[in-house]
């Protein structure tokens, strides 16, 4: 019988792939997700789910920058604290925590795990606080933190971006900023990999694709897969932010969501270059190139009639 693993956020974008990866590796999985009536803020539920588990993979998080800070903090920080307390009480042997390169903020050059915390958005601030909590529990519970680069795949966020590119929406800024991503299937593979390697205990790893492309390169890759022309005109950052504020105000009046928010513009024009040497030395490498991952993403969205 394989080790028993609890996956929080099991029905989320990453969670579904992580569950499949772990199943495939022979683990016995229990899913914990709001869709199934499980609340990360209900400590009793969390403790009950952690009983008898060898490993807990904590993916449950709120990413929506439109949410009030208090809500983001409750889910990302208090929820993580509940998981840590339950793991320690139930003698769980290992916690794998999904974090974000965003905890390092707007980096200069190529970032590695030694870069200081410098979160800027509310989401990033709550993930940085959650990371600090996780690290405080190392003496009670072996932990592994995976700082994922911006994930992509056939979710609603990337569907909207791809639809905008299909319509000829211009590149924001110069497009020359480094833009290193990670395909969601590779992220799930990284979770499986560190869960099975005791050498990763009490360590932080950046997980990203092998090579950093540029924002313009990512845009071009998607445009080529869609067989659409790449606009020669770029949108200045100030204009993009103004447009984002207008769209956000309009969406609020209509009770809808917008994929283009002011915080997203800042994240688009950031430098995103990451040194993956530490996790590479452990033996993990991303399997998908940007072309392969985006091709699968576009094909899946097309097959569903969503783009």
- Going 56 to 113 to 213 to 167, the CA torsion angle's sign is positive
pLDDT band at 259 (very low <50, low <70, confident <90, very high): low
The two structure tokens encoding residue 118: 């410098």
Q: Which secondary-structure segment (H or E) carries 115?
A: none
Dist CA 137 CA 95 (whole Å):
10
User: How high is the pLDDT of residue 55?
Assistant: 98
Residue 253 has pLDDT above 90, yes or no: no
Domains (range + CATH), the chain: 4-152+181-209+275-284 (3.40.50.720)
Residue with tokens 């956020």: 9
Identify the CA nearest to 152 among candidates 180, 179, 190, 183. 183
Active site residues: 123
Identify the CA nearest to 77 among candidates 55, 103, 54, 44. 103
Residue 148 has what DSSP assignment?
E
CA atoms within 13 A on the CB side of 300: 13
The string of DSSP codes covering 166-184 is HTTPPPBS-S-SBB-EEEH
Neighbours of 35 (CB within 10 A): 11
Dist CA 158 CA 155 (whole Å):
6
User: How high is the pLDDT of residue 1?
Assistant: 58
Q: For the CA atoms of the chain, what is the radius of gyration?
A: 19
CA of 26: how far to CAs of 17, 96, 188, in Å? Answer: 15, 17, 15
- For 159-187, what is the mean pLDDT? 95
CA atoms within 13 A on the CB side of 258: 18
The two structure tokens encoding residue 202: 């009490």
Dist CA 151 CA 182 (whole Å):
5
The two structure tokens encoding residue 289: 């190139």
User: How high is the pLDDT of residue 260?
Assistant: 73
Q: Angle formed by the axes of helices 122-136 and 79-89, to 10°? A: 20
Residue 249 has pLDDT above 90, yes or no: no
User: How high is the pLDDT of residue 262?
Assistant: 79
Does residue 59 contact residue 9 with C-beta atoms inside 8 Å?
yes
pLDDT tens track for 105-147 = 999 899 999 999 999 999 999 999 999 999 999 999 999 999 9
Least confident of 180-194, 251-265, 284-298: 251-265
Least confident of 140-149, 204-213, 237-246: 237-246
Identify the CA nearest to 290 among candidates 152, 171, 147. 152
- Going 277 to 288 to 161 to 167, the CA torsion angle's sign is positive
Q: Angle formed by the axes of helices 290-303 and 215-226, to 10°? A: 40
Residue 152 has pLDDT above 90, yes or no: yes
Residue 266 has pLDDT above 90, yes or no: no
Residue 101 has what DSSP assignment?
G
3-state secondary structure of 232: coil
Does residue 148 contact residue 98 with C-beta atoms inside 8 Å?
yes
């Amino acid at each position: 019988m394989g080790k028993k693993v609890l996956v929080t956020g099991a029905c989320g974008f990453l969670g579904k792939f992580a569950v499949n990866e772990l199943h495939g590796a022979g683990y016995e999985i229990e899913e914990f997700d709001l869709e199934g009536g499980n609340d990360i803020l209900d400590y009793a539920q969390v403790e009950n789910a952690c009983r008898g588990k060898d490993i807990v993979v904590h993916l449950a998080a709120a990413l929506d920058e439109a949410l009030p800070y208090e809500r983001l903090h409750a889910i990302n920080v208090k929820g993580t604290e509940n998981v840590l307390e339950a793991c320690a009480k139930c003698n769980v042997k290992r916690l794998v925590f999904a974090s974000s390169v965003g905890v390092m903020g707007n980096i200069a050059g190529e970032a590695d795990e030694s870069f200081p915390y410098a979160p800027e958005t509310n989401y990033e601030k709550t993930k940085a606080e959650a990371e600090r909590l996780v690290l405080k529990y190392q003496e009670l519970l072996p932990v592994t933190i995976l700082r994922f680069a911006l994930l992509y795949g056939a979710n609603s966020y990337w569907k909207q971006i791809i639809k905008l590119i299909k319509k000829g929406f211009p590149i924001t800024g110069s497009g020359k900023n480094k833009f290193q991503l990670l395909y969601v299937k590779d992220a799930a593979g990284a979770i499986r990999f560190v869960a099975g390697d005791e050498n990763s205990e009490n360590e932080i790893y950046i997980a990203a694709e092998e090579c950093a492309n540029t924002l313009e390169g990512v845009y071009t890759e998607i445009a080529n897969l869609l067989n659409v022309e790449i606009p020669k005109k770029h949108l200045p950052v100030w204009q993009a932010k103004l447009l984002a504020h207008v769209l956000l105000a309009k969406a609020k009046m209509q009770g809808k969501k917008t994929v283009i928010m002011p915080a997203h513009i800042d994240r688009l024009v950031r430098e995103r270059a990451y040194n993956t040497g530490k996790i590479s030395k452990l033996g993990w490498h991303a399997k998908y190139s940007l072309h392969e991952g985006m091709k699968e993403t576009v094909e899946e969205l097309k097959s569903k009639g969503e783009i």
